[in-house]
Structure 1
């Protein structure tokens, strides 16, 4: 895939004329690292946000066997989602680390879109790198790309016709797909009101964080989020921000 040209243009505010969002990512913690401050702002405004995760993150902690790790990370994800006002979290059951882009993944995500009927779909960076020479993971690439495709698949009754047989009628109401973690963002959400809850949400992944770093978990979380939202804020009027690359439909 060709990487977009990185620019420093000001980021536009995200659209606000929507009521339902569906966030689709590969692993527990992807949303907490990527955009939970924005999610907190959206739920504060009375919008409905649902999380769908392709895997349970069972291959994410070297010291834990997948059979033990998967349920633990699922619990941490549900707790983290609750902190920012998300009550519905679904897991698609794809195998962590080897999620494959293709019809099976597109079908599962299209089914979720038809179930929840969002106007906004959120996913994580689907490109090969994080905007430079930091390589992305295959799972992120597969799920992000499949989500962009599934937004269209969900509205076409002749793609995955078995979904109609299951009572999932086509939904062509997705108006935007917003990609968090993009190296070429176009829009942003003010992170200030949700930043404290974003930190607490990420801290719910304590087992994962403690395996990832020797730094104090709270310091690690707050330092990461401050750097992440501060960098986006440089293009958003100096306010801490969560940035997205927005694809209209």
Structure 2
């Protein structure tokens, strides 16, 4: 399969679904990571033009860790809008991948860039398959299935499906660690360790999923987008239940 994750900022994908993407790649699927904005407003002590170059380089390094192909859209940070021109750019970007499955932000995430990315993806996906609507790339060859990835901190998000990322949690952390400029500013301004956020959220969703670490998703149920089979990857790891049974049962 061809898997496309679309985030608003550099590091959004790594925070929310990189474990699942690494698992897809490990299982032989083609993985693509697209970022809408250039992250140039993220650090108060680095000029925006300089920071955009830093954030792009960090993003590409993170993609290399996952084994994903990077797509850098380059919109200004904090200024993304749901315009027709931007929608058509998203249509063409999606067509360039021709994915089986897309992951992006949900509609109630905390940041406007996240919510506008959500809306642009939602509006672009049906158009990506309309052959009479011309862009630089041909229409998608299938109706694309859409999943929403977790909100930051899991706030206001109720997963309908989980992926056991126990075997790829280290890859997820390694990819996020490439975003050194973002990790630094979160520690400096908010006393937040983003690597600890990944660890904590992974365990939290893992408790819900019955595994050591997990990521949560909501599959979009909309006309002509449903499937009777699961597209999220199954892990070869040991579940909490199996782990206990191997040792003679829970005490």
The gaps in structure 2 that reach 5 residues or longer are 152-156, 226-251
Cα distance between partner residues in 2 of 1:241 and 1:173: 29
Which of 9, 17, 30 is equivalent to 1:48? 30
Count residues with an aligned counterpart: 216
Q: Which has the higher contact order (CA 8 A, sep 6+)?
A: 1
Tell me: CA distance 1:30–1:174, structure 2 relative to 1, closer, same or farther (3 Å).
farther
1:100 lines up with 2:73 in the alignment: no
> Considering only aligned residues, what root-mean-square deviation do their CA atoms show, in Å?
1.9
Which of 156, 162, 178 is equivalent to 2:130? 156
Asked if the contact 1:114–1:171 (Cα under 8 Å) also holds between the matched residues in 2, the reply is: yes
Cα distance between partner residues in 2 of 1:198 and 1:174: 29
Alignment of 1:78-97 (within 5 A): 78-86=60-68, 88-97=69-78
Which of 75, 83, 99 is equivalent to 1:118? 99
Asked if the contact 2:86–2:120 (Cα under 8 Å) also holds between the matched residues in 1, the reply is: yes
Q: Which residue of structure 2 aligns with residue 239 of structure 1?
A: 212
- 1:188 Cα deviation from its structure 2 partner: 1.4
Alignment of 1:210-249 (within 5 A): 210-214=184-188, 220-248=193-221, 249=225
SS at match of 1:93: strand
Cα distance between partner residues in 2 of 1:142 and 1:175: 19
- 1:60 Cα deviation from its structure 2 partner: 1.1
Which of 206, 218, 221 is equivalent to 2:180? 206
Show CA shifts across 1:61-99 (max 9, x none).
11111110000000000001111111x211222111010
Q: Which has the larger radius of gyration?
A: 2
Q: Give the TM-score, by structure 1 length.
A: 0.81
Structure 1 stretches of 4+ with a deviation exceeding 3 A read none
Asked if the contact 1:121–1:174 (Cα under 8 Å) also holds between the matched residues in 2, the reply is: no
Which of 111, 115, 128 is equivalent to 1:141? 115
Cα distance between partner residues in 1 of 2:112 and 2:102: 20
